[in-house]
Amino acid sequence: MDVSVFSPAKINLFLAVTGRRADGFHDLVSVAAPLDFGDELRVGNEELGAGSQTPDGGKITLECDDAAVPVDGSNLILKAAAAFAAATDWKGGASFRLTKRTPLGAGLGGGSSNAVAALRALNQLAGGLLDERRLTEVAATLGSDCALFVKNAPVVMRGRGERVEQLADAAAVRLRGRRVLVFKPSFGISTPWAYRRMVARGSDYVSTAEAEARLAAWMNGAAAAEELCFNNLEPAAFGKFIALPVLLEKLRRQFGVTARMSGSGSACYALLREDFATVPVVACIRESWGPAAFVQEARIA
């Protein structure tokens, strides 16, 4: 049996990094939302590509249509398969085929989303051995962004990102279905680098109390998604990658859109009205960042 699972990209509409933890991670308060754009992961019984072994020797293989994506044990899909086998005593083998659309090094959660897609696909093949609670627990062991993709809805993330709760309907309705233009320059930004830069700067953190107050004010009000957008990782990234703030300011000034960096970058997004024509914005992005820039319109799921 083959199983195909959609692996959505995400954007961080609100990201407040509040401080560094004793374990080296950072605490944050964030609102993240999946998009209707992303990768496709298929898992079946064929033996393809490079792979790894489950704890009981089952063959796990991976191939991808993007040569830049590693298909060895460093890939989160294979790590997810090993974690699934360890959590369930599943002894089967599987081969994954990943159709990659979400760009790498973008802050769009592509690798984390792939990991959760792998968990979901294996769970279907194995007959549903994990309920959502256990699936979330296993996902959280793979990376800070992974647990949010289990919900497949706008969520609030806390801690290092592993504490996830679905956004209340009254707030989520102001996000779902919104048009978003996602764009990324030809370069990526390493998430560890961005956080190290934030530590070195030392002045960009906001307190947990301030972050929670800002979030609560938006959640308990009626303001549009534009009023939620915030990211205090931007100064760390913008200090080195000047092309980002220059373009975002240009888009705000010329087109009146709310434009922000997503996560640790380098991808950015702009929220669009339903009647907004994207052609001039896309032309501005191409003119600023060149023809290699990634540009994709999507909607918040």
CATH architecture for the domain at 3-169 = 2-Layer Sandwich (3.30)
Q: What residues are annotated to the active site? A: 10, 145
CB 9 within 8 A of CB 30: no
Q: Which residue has the tokens 């093949």?
A: 125
Cα–Cα distance measured from residue 297 to residue 301, given in angstroms and rounded to the nearest whole number: 13
Strand ordering across the sheet containing 179-184: 258-261, 268-272, 179-184, 294-299
Run of H or E residues at 254? helix 243-255
- Domain boundaries defined on the chain: 3-169, 176-299
Residue pLDDT tens, the chain, 301 long: 789 999 999 999 999 999 999 998 999 999 999 999 999 999 986 443 445 555 455 688 999 999 999 999 999 999 999 999 999 998 888 999 999 999 998 999 999 999 999 999 999 999 999 999 999 999 999 988 898 899 889 999 999 888 999 999 999 999 999 999 999 999 999 999 999 999 999 999 999 999 999 999 999 999 999 999 999 999 999 999 999 999 999 999 999 999 999 999 999 999 999 999 999 999 999 999 999 999 999 999 9
CA distances to 71, 84, 188, 198, 259 from 241, rounded to whole Å, are 29, 38, 10, 14, 16
CATH number of 176-299: 3.30.70.890
**Can you state the angle between helices 110-125 and 132-140, rounded to 10 degrees?**
140
Cα–Cα distance measured from residue 263 to residue 189, given in angstroms and rounded to the nearest whole number: 10
**Angle made by CA atoms 264, 66, 100, in degrees to the nearest 5:** 60
